[in-house]
Amino acid sequence: MTALAAPQPAGARPGKLVWLRLVRHRLALVSLVFLLILLTLSLLAPWIADWRGVDPTATDLFRRLEPPSPEHWLGTDDLGRDLFQRLLDGGRVSLLVGLSGALLSAVIGAVVGVVAGYLGGRLDAVLMRLTDGVIALPLLPLLIVLAAIDPRKLGIPADIAQSELFSLYRIIAIVALTGWTTVARLVRAETLSLKARDFTRAAQALGARPGRIMFRHILPNAAGSLVVATTLSIGGLILLESTLSFLGLGTQPPAASWGNMLTGAQELLHQAPVLALLPGLLILLTVIAFNFLGDGLQDALDPRSERRL
């Protein structure tokens, strides 16, 4: 016999039921709180620096590798910069790449998946072979090649190509162009199931156009799976950005990211291991937190997975 599902409050709204199931998933709830705190601190990093009277980009070789103090809460790095503020600035970049890349990947994957699943035929075959081809490509070498392309040779002005914002947007575009395949296959599978449902057939009988059916009827009903897949992909994209930055192909100094902070700390592992330990620990905790949050959302959005936590 199967275990009975936990009773739900009578008359509760669907959104409230999702929240109640998510709250019962303790690891997901702890992860959500951790990520909200980290995201808030990262977004408020410029104001925190002003409040503390610290310039995270200012170098002072006379104060390099200082221990924690009331002025520098986590000490300083090899160039005398405040380590706490550098971690917050790096978190803003890494989280922005992860969240923006995941959302862009979700949009691309959702469009490809719903079009392939609903229209079918040769278009479905072409889009799925394209998806399989992207999956078959060696990911890290492909990312390295794309990140190593000099944008100035593509006609982009030098002042724009060398700006911090362009470097950030390029990394977001690169990770999104390689991260949409999982979402596309998931949405296609959901579409194949949903287009046989009565509400889809009713819309077809009423003369609704394919575009309206796909984006007004099918995609909203596949939103649960799409949200879970997007959340789970954020951690992987943060790892990809950190890897590219560690290899010197991502965010370029003096802008901070957790990846290029690891690059700068690799020659000081014996002298100051904390310079590598802290950004590495934040990458680890952030990726784990997004994975736990994705697991919790999967249980919360699917009543069939109801269980006692």
Tell me: the pLDDT tens digits for 40-51?
999 998 899 889
Q: What is the CA radius of gyration of the chain?
A: 23
Res 251: pLDDT: 73
pLDDT band at 4, cuts 50/70/90?
very low
Write the DSSP symbol of residue 267.
G
Contact 299, 307 (CB under 8 A): yes
- The mean pLDDT of the chain is 82
- DSSP state for residue 268 in the 8-state scheme: G
Beta bridge partners of 82: 76
CB 95 within 8 A of CB 238: yes
Calpha distance 37→29 (Å, rounded): 12
Asked if residue 143 has pLDDT above 50, the reply is: yes
Q: What is residue 214's DSSP assignment?
A: I
**pLDDT tier at 35, thresholds 50, 70, 90:** very high
Q: Is a pLDDT exceeding 60 seen at residue 307?
A: no
- What are the C-alpha distances in Å from 227 to residues 39, 100, 103, 172, 302? 19, 14, 10, 19, 12
Task: State the pLDDT at residue 236.
Answer: 82
- Residue whose structure tokens are 């986590």: 74
Is the domain spanning 36-46+74-303 CATH 1.20.140.10? The answer is no
Start-end of H helices in 149-273: 158-161, 164-179, 181-194, 198-205, 210-212, 219-221, 223-246, 258-265
Alpha carbons within 13 angstroms on the beta-carbon side of residue 103 total: 5
Which whole number is the average pLDDT over 125-134? 90
pLDDT tens-place string over residues 201-259? 888 888 888 888 888 888 888 888 888 888 888 888 888 888 877 777 777 777 788 88
Assigned token pair, 9: 């409050």
Considering 71-85, 104-118, 189-203, 231-245, the range whose residues carry the highest mean pLDDT is 104-118
Residue 30 pLDDT more than 60?
yes
Please classify residue 66 by burial: count the beta carbons closer than 10 Å to its beta carbon, then call 0-12 exposed, 13-18 middle and 19+ buried: middle
Distances 193 to 6, 188, 190, 273, 278 between C-alpha atoms, Å? 27, 9, 5, 52, 46
Residue whose pair of structure tokens reads 């291991």 in the numeric block:
273
CA distance 96 to 43: 10
Q: At 273, list the tokens.
A: 């291991």
Q: How far is CA 139 from CA 136, 144, 178, 306, in A?
A: 8, 9, 8, 36
Q: At what angle do helices 83-119 and 223-246 cross, to 10 degrees?
A: 130
Q: What angle do CA 178, 179, 184 make, to 5 degrees?
A: 110
Compute the C-alpha angle 127/173/132, nearest 5°: 25
Query: Given this model, what pLDDT does residue 302 score?
Result: 65
Query: What is the reported pLDDT for 39?
Result: 92
- CB burial of 267-303 (b: ≥16 within 10 Å; e: otherwise) equals ebeeebebbbebbbebbeebbebbbbbbbbbbbbbee
Map out the domains of the chain as residue ranges: 36-46+74-303
Q: Which among 185, 176, 173, 175 has a CA at the least distance from the CA of 132?
A: 185
In the chain, the percentage of residues whose pLDDT exceeds 90 is 15
Q: What is the pLDDT of residue 33?
A: 93
Question: pLDDT confidence of 80, banded at 50, 70, 90?
Answer: confident
Q: What is the pLDDT of residue 150?
A: 73
Instruction: Give me the mean pLDDT over the 15-34 stretch.
Output: 82
